[in-house]
Amino acid sequence: MSVSELSSRLKRTVEDAFGLVRLRGEISGFKRHASGHCYFTMKDDKACIDAVIWKGCAAMLRFRPEDGIEVVATGKLTTYPGRSKYQIVVDQLELAGQGALMALLDKRRRALAAEGLFDAERKKRLPFLPRTIGVVTSPTGAVIRDILHRLADRCPSHVIVWPVAVQGEGAAGQVAAAVRGFEALATRPDLVIVARGGGSIEDLWAFNEEEVVRAVAACSIPIISAVGHETDTSLCDFAADVRAPTPTAAAEMAVPVRSELLAQVREMGLRSSRCARRSVERAGEQLENGLRRFPKREALLAPQQQKLDELSERLPRALSARLSHARADLGHAAGALRPSLLDIMIRRSADRLGAVRLAPALVQRKIDEGRRTLESLWRIAAQAHPDKPLAKGYARVEDKDGHTLISAGAARAAGRLRLVFGDGRVEASVREGVERTPRRSYSAPKPEQPKLF
């Protein structure tokens, strides 16, 4: 026989003899290939065997295989001629009892706790009265009806339900996507409830998956975990901000009782009214006590009223006395106002006026002196007039605007000049480099000094 023929006969013999087997052992070296197939080794304390799960069966697994888990594999034995090895092709993979599942759960819990996903510092406080509540659960189960009924009884709120599968293949991915989806909404809910009814540990296993735990721990919205009954515990409960024993209890934790809030508001209103009324009563009592310490109005005004009565009695007498004195003064003054006395006073005033009258000669003398002084000052002013030198042959240099120029630089800058003589004006211009004619010297007659007086 050839090697291939021998390998084929061995393959048929093994598959015919072991067409259906159930093996119990521990998973070791688990690896999921990019093609979707899974390869691992099943072992016990004395032997080991290679195992493979094809892609179609791997998608139907109810849990995620990990190293160290004790499982029960159902399938058939076959050989791999390329390496002269035999292996089991697994059609179904189950956990070997609840103890193995609990061991896996404890191992995963310790690993996630070491990362700090369950720390109390990460927990967020629940809002007192959320306006919108998001619920991640199955839309067909009794859980959503219990939550909606409880919320309607306690405090009606707006509820957004994100329907997911709560068990089976793909349930963990849907729950994690729902939690992340609520956080990505434009109008985010104020609170999220992740809920599921009771069941076995296998039924609740989707809420123990690492994907769900990380999504719940990373969510910025406060989350209440209500998975299973009061005795059931999942890793989602540890990652959530608050754990509720049941979905109904989660609804009770989410919102307060509306009737109790209204009763508290009424009670606070009554207490405020009583406090305000008591304050008014105490203020009234204090006012009355203060008024008792003040004297009566009559006692305060009695001295002033008495003084007013006294003055009102004295006023007529004072007026009568004042009138009598005025009449006496008038009588004395009337005796002094006689016509003869007025004539005497007029004559005396006329004599005094005649004594102080001025003679015309004195006035004329003062006028002449003032005229001579004025004439002298006018002669001085005439000599100081700026046009006076022009009559003696001098000229005044002006620019075109009539401003007097007093320097050669100003004349050159002006360009156009105006020469003012005693008998008229001449327009001129400045030209540099013109040959100058020699100046004839002559002696001007010495002006006669005018007389001032």
Question: What are the tens digits of pLDDT across the range 285-308?
Answer: 888 888 788 777 777 788 888 888
The predicted model gives 68-77 an average pLDDT of: 86
Residue boundaries of the structural domains of the chain: 3-96, 130-259, 385-430
Confidence band of 442 (pLDDT split at 50, 70, 90) = very low
Determine the 3-state secondary structure of 62 from DSSP.
coil
Residue 407 has a pLDDT of 86
Answer whether 62's CB lies under 8 Å from 95's CB: no
The backbone torsions φ and ψ at residue 401, rounded to the nearest 5 degrees and listed phi first, read: -90, 0
Residue 242 has a pLDDT of 92
Q: What is the pLDDT of residues 324-341, one digit of tens each?
A: 888 888 777 766 666 777
Question: How many Å apart are CA 318 and CA 150, to the nearest integer?
Answer: 99
Q: Which residue has the tokens 């979707």?
A: 36
Token pair in block for residue 49: 């065997």
The backbone torsions φ and ψ at residue 134, rounded to the nearest 5 degrees and listed phi first, read: -100, 140
Taking the CB of residue 64, how many other CB atoms lie within 10 A of it?
16
Examine the pLDDT at 134 and tell me if it is beyond 90: yes
Please tell me the pTM assigned to this model.
0.47
Confidence band of 433 (pLDDT split at 50, 70, 90) = low
Query: What's the topology of domain 130-259?
Result: Rossmann fold (3.40.50)
Residue 221 has a pLDDT of 92
Q: Which CATH superfamily is domain 3-96 in?
A: Nucleic acid-binding proteins (2.40.50.140)
Sequential DSSP letters for 118-153? T-GGG--PPPSS-SEEEEEE-TTSHHHHHHHHHHHH
CA-wise closest residue to 93 among 110, 73, 111 = 73
Determine the 3-state secondary structure of 205 from DSSP.
helix
Q: What is the pLDDT of residues 244-292, one digit of tens each?
A: 988 999 999 898 888 888 888 899 999 999 999 999 999 988 888 887 8
Examine the pLDDT at 133 and tell me if it is beyond 80: yes
- Report the residue count for the chain: 453
Question: How many Å apart are CA 23 and CA 73, to the nearest integer?
Answer: 5
Q: Examine domains 3-96 and 130-259 and report if their fold is the same.
A: no
The predicted model gives 123-134 an average pLDDT of: 91
Percentages of the chain per state (helix, strand, coil), in multiples of 5: 50, 20, 30
Arithmetic mean of pLDDT over the chain: 83
